[in-house]
Amino acid sequence: MLVTGGGDKTGDLYDPVAKTFKDVGDIQKERTNHTSTLVGTRVLLAGGADNAGKVNQTTTIYDIATAKFSSGPTMLSKREHHTATLLPNGKVLLAGGRIESGKNYVLALSPLAEIYDPANATTPFAGVPFASGTGRYAHGATALIGATGLPDGRVLVTGGSNVTTCGQTGTSELFAVNAFTAGASLVASRSDHAAAVLKDGRVLITGGTGVVGAGCGPLNSAEIWNGAPSP
């Protein structure tokens, strides 16, 4: 297991047999609230913020074969608190996130997600606009399954926040065939929640932060997305 970030520039590799950690070198940039995605025999570290609060537009690649980190390609936008979802074709969907401006957070390239293509050395990132025209962070991004029970390339993006504090959204978007379409509304607006695909293709959405009484706080509710599976 590869452990990175948390304000430290080094990466650690955990051996579950020996139950020990090993230092595997410099990850190039300090990163918190970044994403880490296994892509073939490499791990893509994308975005995040450094110890000074500056949000990164950079990526770092960890090569499992050599056990070394190297600088990766530059993303289209600075992002932290975003999601990264591996697609069946080996690409990675990076969605949402925020960028720091002074002491206030604003959405990072709010209406745009991007796709990382490891096979394209020239232009590895391509922009994909959200259907809503607005962005989100602290949302859920769930890889959906088809009738075969395997991931079919669709990704359900749910909830999230669009302002600094207590600005949860109850909307969703569905990514399929390199484009987003508007999805169904959630029962409760929520951010920082969990969203997991079930064996029958439905998605269980639990907890998070939302409106509680006259303010905002942790939610004790759950809901299920009943969207139809792809053929």
pLDDT tens track for 124-142: 999 999 998 888 889 999 9
User: Contact 101/109 with Cβ under 8 angstroms?
Assistant: no
Sheet arrangement for strand 42-46 = 35-39, 42-46, 59-63, 68-71
Identify the CA nearest to 172 among candidates 193, 152, 153.
Answer: 193
Q: Are residues 100 and 163 in the same domain?
A: no
- 199 in the same domain as 168: yes
User: Does pTM top 0.95 for this prediction?
Assistant: no
Q: What is the pLDDT of residue 50?
A: 87
- Answer yes or no: do 67 and 97 share one domain: yes
Indicate if 84 and 190 belong to the same structural domain.
Answer: no
Question: Do 154 and 198 share a domain, yes or no?
Answer: yes
Q: Do 120 and 154 share a domain, yes or no?
A: no
Q: Which domain holds residue 168?
A: 136-231
* Same domain assignment for residues 223 and 123: no
Same domain, 221 and 147: yes
Percentage of residues of the chain with pLDDT beyond 70: 92
Do 105 and 8 lie in one domain? The reply is yes
Q: Which residues pair with 191 in a beta bridge?
A: 209
Q: What is the mean pLDDT of residues 8-13?
A: 89
Looking at residue 8, what is its pLDDT? 82
Overall number of domains in the chain: 2
Distances 148 to 145, 176, 199 between C-alpha atoms, Å: 7, 17, 10
pLDDT confidence band for 228 (50 / 70 / 90)? low
